[in-house]
Amino acid sequence: MNKNREVEFTQQPLSVLLGPQVSRVNIKVHNRLKAIRVDFLPGAMFRILKVPMYELLDEGFNAGDLFGSKMKILTEQLSEITDLEVGKRLVENFLLERLHSINKQQPFDKALRALYINDGNLSITKTASLSCLSIKQFERKCKERIGMNPKSYARILKFSKAYRLHEAFPEMDWISIAYKSGYYDQMHLIKDFKIFAGANPSEIEKQLRNTAIKMQKDLNF
C-alpha cells in the first residue's frame, strides 16, 4: 500500500483489516490475485472488536492480531482453497460466530445507518436527534465508533457516492454526479476529490481508464 505519489509499496499480510480511511491508498496487486472483501457498516467494527476506531484510522493491520487465533486458522484455510464460493462461506461462518458476542444495536447505530443510507445528506442535528444524544455526546461517540467527527464522516459519504457513481456510470457528466451526490455545486465536489482522492475529477477519470479493478462500483448505493 502507498499513500504518497512515490512508488513505494509495503507488502501486506494475507488477511488485512483496514481501519476507517480518509486518505488515498494505492494498492498494487498480482494480476492473478483472488480475494474476498468484507465491508462493515458504520460502527460495526467497533461493536465486533471493542476497539476505539480512532486508533485504527487510516491504517491497515494484520487481521489475526485483532481477531485472534481463529482468524489465523481462517487465513490458513483461505490460502488453500481454489473455489471463492467456499471461501465466502468460511468467512461468513467466521463472522456469524462473532455475532454471539456483539453488542446490541443502540439508537446511535441506527442514526449512523440513516446518515449512511442518505450518503451523508442528513444534517448533524437531525442525525444526533435520531441517536437520542446531544450533539456533543454524538460527536464523542462518533470519534470512538467510526474514528472521526460526524461532519467529516458525512463529507466522506458524499464524496464516496460521487466516486462510485463515476465508476459505475463513466459516461455521466460531473455536474450530474455532483447533483446526484448532494453537492451544492461542482466546485465543492472538486475540492473533496482533491482532499480524499488526491486528484481532481478529470485526473481521476484518466486514472480509472487505466485501472483494471474498480474497487467501489459494486458497493450498494
Digit-coded pLDDT (tens) for 118-130 = 999 999 999 999 9
Per the prediction, the chain carries an average pLDDT of 87
- pLDDT value for 216: 61
**pLDDT tens readout for residues 33-59:** 678 888 899 999 999 999 999 999 988
CA 28/CA 111 separation, integer angstroms: 36
pLDDT tens across 177-200, in order? 999 999 999 999 999 999 998 889
Instruction: Select from 110, 126, 118 the least CA-distant residue to 160.
Output: 118
Tell me which of 57-66, 103-112, 154-163, 206-215 is least confident: 206-215
All domains of the chain, ordered by start, with CATH?
16-101 (no CATH), 107-150 (no CATH), 152-209 (1.10.10.60)
Lowest mean pLDDT among 61-75, 92-106, 151-165: 92-106
Query: pLDDT at residue 32 above 70?
Result: no
Q: What is the model's pTM?
A: 0.82
Per cent of the chain over pLDDT 90 is 59
Helix (H, G, I), strand (E, B) or coil at 96: helix
Tell me if 211 sits within 8 A of 29, measured CB to CB. Answer: no
Contact 56, 67 (CB under 8 A): no
